[in-house]
């Protein structure tokens, strides 16, 4: 594979002996430590220039501890960790402001993710949650939208109410790639892309496909659609490692995405794999 600079905007690291992750007990293949050394071994010879760590849904009492742990890794172990998407209890509404302010004092914290995918379909449009998301604009922080495709319609309603917040859709909204379903995901992605404050992270596709038997052809129409909607100016690469290891090794996913955009210009390739990430997550600040 050709080598080109990559900013990986969706890396998870976890250490169950130090922090609590209630969901890991339900996913035995992932229920062990996944640390920086494992990540470095996984990407092999690829040119990973910098990393954005994304919160791993720890026990709520460990949310701040997780951010502190990764900050320590970035300081002492690997300065390529240039951004953190941290957890915050946004459902607390306006009261979350003091929590966000504390996080924002850490220059590595670039955004917030409060998982929506495990909540009810109307969770993200509840008034307090919307108020919590709105607070992010005061601190220049973005919000990662992590949902399953049936929640996409209400995610759009959330974005409508928060015009001053920068959003990024994780994992292209987790469409049902395994069964090759496109509707209404296809139309809703087009609608979401109409908001200029929204980017789309091309990540996590392999785990929405058939874990054991997916092919690049299964992913191709989904990749093409999000790029046609968002353009190469608002799509961003992410590995979703190590969740992605359930379906693919790291180089195979990079090669699959590189092949999917094989006709693009070098500028477009740079936007997808590096430049858009630096701009969106403010990695140069």
pLDDT by position in tens, the chain (length 285): 778 999 999 999 999 999 999 999 999 999 999 999 999 999 999 999 999 999 999 999 999 999 999 999 999 999 999 999 999 999 999 999 999 999 999 999 999 999 999 999 999 999 999 999 999 999 999 999 999 999 999 999 999 999 999 999 999 999 999 999 999 999 999 999 999 999 999 999 999 999 999 999 999 999 999 999 999 999 999 999 999 999 999 999 999 999 999 999 999 999 999 999 999 999 987
Q: What is the pLDDT of residue 188?
A: 98
Q: What is the pLDDT of residue 1?
A: 72
User: Which is it for the CA torsion 81, 74, 60, 103, positive or negative?
Assistant: negative
Q: What is the pLDDT of residue 63?
A: 97
Q: What is the pLDDT of residue 263?
A: 92
Q: What is the pLDDT of residue 285?
A: 75
Nearest CA to 78 among 44, 105, 48, 111? 48
Nearest CA to 62 among 19, 27, 123? 19
Q: What is the pLDDT of residue 184?
A: 98
Tokens 């929405």, located at residue: 208
Reading phi first (left if > 0) and then psi (alpha if -120 to 50, else beta), residue 180 is in left
């Amino acid at each position: 594979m050709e080598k080109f600079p990559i900013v990986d905007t969706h890396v998870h690291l976890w250490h169950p002996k130090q922090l609590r992750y209630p969901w890991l007990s339900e996913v035995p293949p992932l229920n062990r430590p996944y640390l920086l050394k494992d990540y470095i071994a996984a990407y092999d010879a690829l040119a990973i220039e910098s990393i954005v760590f994304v919160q791993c849904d720890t026990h709520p009492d460990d949310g701040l501890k997780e951010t502190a742990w990764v900050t320590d890794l970035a300081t002492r172990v690997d300065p390529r960790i240039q951004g953190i998407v941290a957890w915050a209890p946004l459902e607390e509404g306006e009261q979350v402001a003091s929590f966000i302010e504390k996080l924002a004092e850490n220059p590595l914290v670039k955004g917030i993710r409060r998982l929506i995918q495990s909540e009810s379909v109307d969770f993200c449009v509840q008034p307090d949650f919307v108020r919590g998301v709105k607070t992010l604009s005061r601190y220049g922080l973005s919000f990662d939208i992590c949902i399953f495709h049936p929640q996409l319609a209400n995610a759009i309603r959330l974005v409508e109410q928060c015009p001053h917040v920068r959003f990024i859709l994780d994992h292209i909204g987790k469409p049902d790639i395994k069964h090759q379903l496109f509707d209404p995901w296809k139309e809703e992605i087009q609608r979401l892309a109409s908001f200029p404050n929204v980017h789309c992270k091309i990540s996590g596709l392999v785990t929405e496909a058939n874990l054991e038997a997916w092919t690049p052809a299964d992913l191709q129409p989904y990749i093409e659609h999000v790029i046609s909607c968002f353009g190469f100016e608002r799509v961003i690469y992410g590995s979703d490692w190590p969740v992605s290891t359930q379906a693919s090794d790291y180089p195979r996913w990079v090669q699959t995405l590189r092949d999917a955009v094989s006709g693009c210009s070098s500028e477009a390739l740079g936007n997808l794999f590096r430049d858009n990430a630096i701009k969106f997550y403010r990695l140069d600040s």
